[in-house]
Amino acid sequence: QVQLVESGGGLVQAGGSLRLSCEASGRTLRTYAMGWFRQAPGKEREFVAGTRWIAGEGYYADYPDSVKGRFTIFRDNAKNTVYLQMNSLKPEDTAVYYCAAGVYSANSYHYNYWGQGTQVTVSS
């Protein structure tokens, strides 16, 4: 079992930055594919970042076009923590952000473990 706890959410003005953290316990995150999702009121959950290990290359990150160039996912395996650095935030980035852990197979992520979420609010 993996327990995930997000932190770092809050209120920020448009154009500002936030860094979310996802600390894991129970198992090391080193071998897991990790991801961040968000869900705004009345909307479906949306993938915003993922990171996976590619043999011979290291960790690779995936982003949807909506956040590419603004969000960065990275991990500190020594701290068993994954981060989401969010820059140039927009009001439409307002949502509850969730961390997830799982595997990458058949060209897609499959997440088994989820955190409880942290609220991010971007004011205009």
The residue behind tokens 């935030």 is 89
| pLDDT digit string, tens, across residues 66-101 | 999 999 999 999 999 999 999 999 999 999 999 999
pLDDT at 5 (0 to 100): 97
Which residues have a Cβ under 8 Å from the Cβ of 119 and sit 6 or more positions away? Answer: 9, 10, 95, 96, 97
Distance CA 95, CA 45 (A): 9
Here the tokens at position 96 are 């509850």
pLDDT at 44 (0 to 100): 96
The residue behind tokens 């969010």 is 86
Maximal CA-CA distance, the chain: 43
| pLDDT digit string, tens, across residues 15-60 | 999 999 999 998 888 889 999 999 999 999 999 999 999 988 899 9
